[in-house]
Copies of this chain bind each other. A is one copy, B any other.
Amino acid sequence: MPSRFRRALAALAALSLTTAPLLAQTAYDSVDPFIGTGGEGHTFPGAVAPFGMVQLSPDTDTGCKIRECYGHAAGYRHDDPTIQGFSHTHFSGAGHSDLGDFLVMPAAGERVLLEPGDPRQPGSGYRSRFSHDSETAQPGYYGVTLADSGIRAELTAGTRVGVHRYAFPTGAPAHLILDLRSSLYNYPGKTLWSSIRIRPDGTITGMRETRGWAPARKLFFAMRPSAPLTGHSFLNREEKVEYRGFQGPSRGRDDADQLEGRALVARFDFGKLDRPLELKVAISAVDEDGAIANLDTERGNFDTVRAKTRAAWEQALGAIELDAPAPIKTKVQTALYHALMAPSVFSDADGRYRGPDDQVHKAEGFTFHSTFSLWDTFRAEHPLLLLVQPEQRNADFVQSLIASQQASPFGILPVWQFHGRETWTMIGYHAVPVIADAYLKGVRGFDANAALDAMVKSASYGAYGGLDHYMKLGYVPIDKEPEAASKTVEYAYDDWTIARMARALGKDDVAAAFEKRAGNWRNSFDAKTGFLRARKADGSFRVPFDPTAINYGSDYTEGNAWQYSWFVPHDQAAMFALLGGDKAAVKKLDAMFDFDNSKLDYSHAEDIAGLIGQYIHGNEPSHHVAYLYNFAGQPWRTQERLKQIVESQYKTGPEGLSGNDDLGQMSSWLVFTALGFYPVAPGSNQYVLGRPFVNRAALTLPNGKRFTVVTDGLSDANRYVGKVTLNGKPLARSYITHDEVTAGGELRFTMQAKPNRSWATGKAARPFSTSAAR
């Protein structure tokens, strides 16, 4: 019924761009969790609560080798024919991967296979074929029919608990398989240890320790089925064990209540059931008691948890009331949904969590969050969450970052952290702009001095990413450290945000030191070629130089000189001056977008997707670039490019994302852009104006005020902004400030078919640049 109703509403919505809100599809119903589950998106369709610790989702394949793994970073690929099972932890849109912890699969009948089997050979294992027709996904809910067994499988999740519901064919004995060998990016030797046991009260607990993307990651679980066990079997499939040792009660039998080892698989029997079987599962990084206590946070049944999580999603998605044409509405609502998943809650209900030192800590007065994909998310994901999530959530992020720094064996802030553990992935110290941006935008509830201390320490740890050289030379030398050009400019920007926060805290000495460092981007910029280039320790630029070359471990990080040369978010004016002024800058921007790639081959590089010339929307370094025309006084060019990008890079359907969603960064770009503004330089407290793609968007801000974007004359033909008013008064500049947003009010765009070549062209009307700071 709801889905028929939804289809009717969608049809209605398609009839007119001015459908009355009363009839509009709700925000919740507009979300399509399948967007990004094909192609390069790496999202998952399963059940998760906003920022939930548990991401319970189907895995279509986990037994893969490294390059084949890439496509299965989220466990599920929309074009796979079978489902292997349902596991409780997933990244949304990551490039590299891990997780897939605690895979559960139901089985029906007398014969239960304990190996996953080959997807090309139906019946060779416990995996099952499925049809997309039988699939339903909504925020916090996923359902599918397993074609081989006829079992209807449904998933929902609370913050720390996943709930499974399996309806077995009548008369068939019901079983569950728990395969502790299965995980994402699963290599031989990944599982260091695992255990499982049935406690006297029927609770099933256990753990797994894996060495994957994160080193020695421990995760515990507790699960309770809704029906009593009629039998079970615990097996260790490990071969060639030097130290099988003394196996105790489990020696020679599989019905003991406990087993430890490196290749465990369990079967649970329930006999014939007259109602669906529910299974509640909680996880904890601390210990089994933590998992049990987390389990107890959700006392209701499947439907109760589903309804509670639906309400949580409706509230979270409700931060933006959206009136937009159907396809863009689906895309933006789904983007907002994807932006509300990470960083994820990671502390247990009692506040305990495992930190970057692999030790247990307790979060006092905050909820510890992890899964910080900071190289991606400092750009737009965190700025978006500052507008759509309560101050407490954003303060939690900052407190989690500070706590991580304080517990870090290296004494520095997270780089790419998940499940409390550091992966050292990507570059920069981008926890720094996240904290600075939050502080400068008024988030409190954390110790600002401790935060600044953590930021300075992270920017001064010589052993990390060539920082010792950077501090000595003013740039990272490529003959000492790979990806030196990218590191230099990202460090410089991060340094600028430290300076901004230090200045706000009255720490003028710190501010001065880091303002100086903020200018280091110049040291790697070659004015002669007009490109950012890697320099050697002797000061010379590395040759040969090809601005289109993309190589891992090369001068740039997942990109080349074309994308990286623009990374001076805090001093775009100075960079334009080096290029030769506004005209030269615009010419170079155009050259980038209009570049002819026909003779290039980037198939060797990960994360290079969504190309528009040398602009690569599928990866983050390009994300602010379309907005840069504003800095040259040509906002109408930004407006053109945004239409080009939105239309080519975001689609409905599984292939809807042109690159990895990267824990919400790709999606957050779309949410901001659809609303008509974008945080080009987090830390500046400015949003650069683009052009809206929605009729109306009303933000309910963390302070309770409402900020509304209205678009007059939105249509395919009206590609340009003719006029902008803020609270009814004409706005002559191409940016708005954070204070203007949080004061509440109305930002109104009037669209037109022709460019307005006189609006916001002057220097004073342009967005923030250090060299032109007002």
Q: A174-191 interface mask toward B, CB cutoff 8 Å, 1 = contact, 0 = none?
A: 000000000000011110
Q: How far is the CB of A241 from chain B (nearest CB, A)?
A: 8
User: Contacts A216-B260, A258-B410 known; A242 to B188 CB distance under 8 Å?
Assistant: yes
Of the stretches A76-84, A100-108, A248-256, A755-763, the one at the interface is A248-256
Are the CB atoms of A410 and B464 closer together than 8 Å?
A: no
Q: Is A215 an interface residue when CB atoms closer than 8 A count as contact?
A: yes
Q: Which residue of B lies closest to A467 (CB)?
A: B249
Chain B residue with the shortest CB-CB distance to A463: B249
User: Nearest B residue to A457 by beta-carbon distance?
Assistant: B200
User: Which residues in window 208-222 of A have CB below 8 A to B?
Assistant: 209, 211-216
Q: How far is the CA of A216 from the CA of B358 in the complex (A)?
A: 16
Number of A interface residues in the complex (CB < 8 A) = 54
Q: Which partner residue on chain B sits nearest A240 by CB separation?
A: B189
Cβ of A192 < 8 Å from any Cβ of B? yes
Tell me if A363 counts as interface (CB < 8 A to partner B). Answer: no
Inter-subunit contact A411/B463 (CB<8 Å) = no
User: A358, B207: Cβ atoms under 8 Å?
Assistant: yes
Pairwise interchain contact B359-A289, C-beta atoms closer than 8 A: yes
- Bound complex: CA of A197 vs CA of B251, how far in Å? 39
**When each residue 317-336 of chain A gets 1 if its CB lies under 8 Å from chain B and 0 otherwise, what string results?**
00000000000000000000
The reply to whether B195 and A464 contact each other, CB–CB distance below 8 Å, is no
Query: Of all chain B residues, which has the CB nearest A288?
Result: B359
| Count of identical protomers in the assembly | 2
- Known contacts A258-B410, A409-B258, A461-B249; is-contact A209 B187 (Cβ 8 Å): no
Q: A248-B424, A358-B207 are in contact. Are A410 and B257 (CB under 8 A)?
A: yes
**A248-B410, A289-B359 known; A189 and B255 CB under 8 Å?**
no
CB distance from A504 to the nearest CB of B (A): 27
A737 at the interface (CB under 8 A from B): no
Say yes or no: is A422 at the interface (Cβ < 8 Å to chain B). Answer: yes
A5: CB under 8 A from chain B? no
User: What are the 5 closest A-B residue pairs judged by CB atoms, nearest first?
Assistant: A248-B424, A258-B409, A246-B424, A249-B463, A187-B242
Seen from chain A, the residues whose Cβ lies within 8 Å of a Cβ on chain B are 187-190, 192-193, 195, 197, 199-200, 207, 209, 211-216, 242-243, 245-251, 253, 255-258, 260-261, 287-289, 357-360, 409-411, 415-416, 422-425, 461, 463-465
- List 15 contacting pairs A-B, 8 Å CB cutoff, sorted by A: A190-B242, A193-B215, A195-B358, A200-B411, A207-B358, A213-B243, A215-B245, A215-B260, A215-B261, A246-B424, A251-B424, A256-B463, A257-B463, A288-B357, A360-B360
